Each structure stands twice: as C-alpha cells, then as structure tokens.
Amino acid sequence: MRITSISQQECTELLQRVSIGRLACSLNDQPYVVPVAFSYEPDRLYFFSTFGKKIKWMRQNPKVCLQADEIGNRWNWISVIVTGTYSELNVPQYHTAQREHAREQLAAQCSEWWRIPLAETGDRSLVSSIETVFFRIDIKSMSGLRAVPEAEEAAKLDGVSKAALHPSD
Ligand SMILES: Cc1cc2nc3c(=O)[nH]c(=O)nc-3n(C[C@H](O)[C@H](O)[C@H](O)COP(=O)(O)OP(=O)(O)OC[C@H]3O[C@@H](n4cnc5c(N)ncnc54)[C@H](O)[C@@H]3O)c2cc1C
C-alpha cells in the first residue's frame, strides 16, 4: 500500500462528494466524537443538530475537528481532516438569511437533511418541542491522505473477489 498526501483541491472534492463525517470536540481534556451529516461550501461546513452534549461542549470550546472519508478497503481509501471553529447560527448576531442559507446548503446535499437528528426522539409528538441548532464550522486547515494498493495487494484482492464469486474453481 502506498500512502500519499492529497492536494487542498482534492480535499475539497472529497468534502463535496461525501455528506457524513465524524465531528470531534473536547472539553476539560476529554475528547468526544460523533458521526454527523454536513454540507460543504468553500471555507465552511454546515450542520443541523438537536441540542445535546456536542452543542454544550462546542459552546464552551469552539475548536473542533472533522474527519471524512471514502473507504474501498483497508488498502484503498481517501481521508480528509479539517480543523476549524464552531459558530452557532441560531444566535441573534446571525440573520435569518444566514440560517436559511445553511438550510439550503443542507437540502442541496440531502433532501431529508433534518431526518437523522429528529429521528432520535422516537416520539413524534415531541418533535416540535425539541431544541434544534444550525451551526457551521469555519475551516482553518485541511489535510488529506490517499492509500492505493501495490500491485501485489491488488492481485490478492482480485483473487479474493474471484474466489468469492467462483468458490468451486
Ligand atoms: C450516519 C449518521 C449521521 C448523523 N447525522 C446527524 C446530524 O446531522 N445531526 C445530528 O445532530 N446528529 C446526527 N447523528 C446522530 C449523532 O451521531 C449523535 O448521536 C446525536 O447528534 C446526539 O449527539 P449529542 O452529543 O447531542 O448526544 P446526547 O444526546 O447529548 O447523548 C449523550 C450520550 O449519548 C451517547 N451518544 C450520543 N451519540 C452517540 C452516537 N452516535 N454513538 C454512540 N453513543 C452516542 C454518548 O455517550 C453521549 O455522552 C448522526 C448519526 C449517524 C450514525
């Protein structure tokens, strides 16, 4: 397997292709990571969330990190890490237009962008009473790596998939 760095352009291309990442925040020397959906635009990522631990923590420490990837198998993958700063869009300093922009960005990525966070409640009658938060991450840095299999590993993988397809050969 050969692992190489990818360019900033390739990092942004991955962030445009995928919509799920793992968001890391930390408080009092304790890290916390959760999978979340996001939408990318240059220099920013947008999110929709229910109010809970990650929001409480990011309000206290806005320095965050997000990792996203496309994994073919352990020899063939691409991974991007973003660091940045949390900003909540529900607060008065952000206008309705900015929340609307976040909503449009998320809808462009997935028509049911609101479904996962709200699904957690289980009880539909409670949905209207749930506190929700639009937030964004202003990107400070991005780095990415790509792994590609060496010829030997590719041949081994090819053999495994052939054996799976033709077990009696
Ligand atoms: C593919 C995918 C996409 C998702 N997209 C979104 C999204 O766009 N927005 C969103 O708000 N949420 C999303 N979720 C759910 C998200 O991962 C969290 O579970 C959720 O947001 C609650 O996080 P919280 O910090 O508010 O936890 P709280 O509700 O405050 O939970 C408290 C405790 O529950 C446990 N916990 C919470 N989440 C998880 C988890 N995912 N796995 C294991 N333990 C957990 C932790 O121990 C935590 O301390 C997604 C999950 C998946 C798998």
Three-state SS letters, the chain: CEEEECCHHHHHHHHHHCCEEEEEEEECCEEEEEEEECEEECCEEEEEEECCHHHHHHHHCCEEEEEEEEEEECCEEEEEEEEEEEEECCCCCCCHHHHHHHHHHHHHHCCCCCHHHHHCCCCHHHHHHCCEEEEEEEEEEEEEEEEECCHHHHHHHHHHHHHHHCCCC
Whether the CB of 21 sits within 6 Å of ligand 1: no
How many Å lie between the centroid of ligand 1 and the Cα of residue 150? 37
- Which ligand 1 atom is nearest residue 34's CA? 17
Whether the CB of 50 sits within 6 Å of ligand 1: yes
How many Å lie between the centroid of ligand 1 and the Cα of residue 27? 17
The pLDDT tens digits for 33-52 are 999 999 999 999 999 998 99
Name the closest-CA residue to atom 34, ligand 1: 53
Whether the CB of 102 sits within 6 Å of ligand 1: no
The reported pLDDT for the residue numbered 98 is 82
How many Å lie between the centroid of ligand 1 and the Cα of residue 35? 7
The pLDDT tens digits for 144-165 are 999 998 877 667 766 666 666 5
Q: How high is the mean pLDDT of the chain?
A: 86
Handedness of CA 16, 20, 22, 26 (dihedral sign): positive
Whether the CB of 34 sits within 6 Å of ligand 1: yes
The pLDDT tens digits for 53-64 are 999 999 999 999
Domains by residue range for the chain, with CATH? 2-165 (2.30.110.10)
Whether the CB of 35 sits within 6 Å of ligand 1: yes
On the question of pLDDT at 141 being above 70, the answer is: yes
Global confidence as pTM: 0.86
Long-range Cβ pairs for the range 69-74 (8 Å, 24+): 69/14, 69/18, 70/14, 70/17, 70/18, 73/157
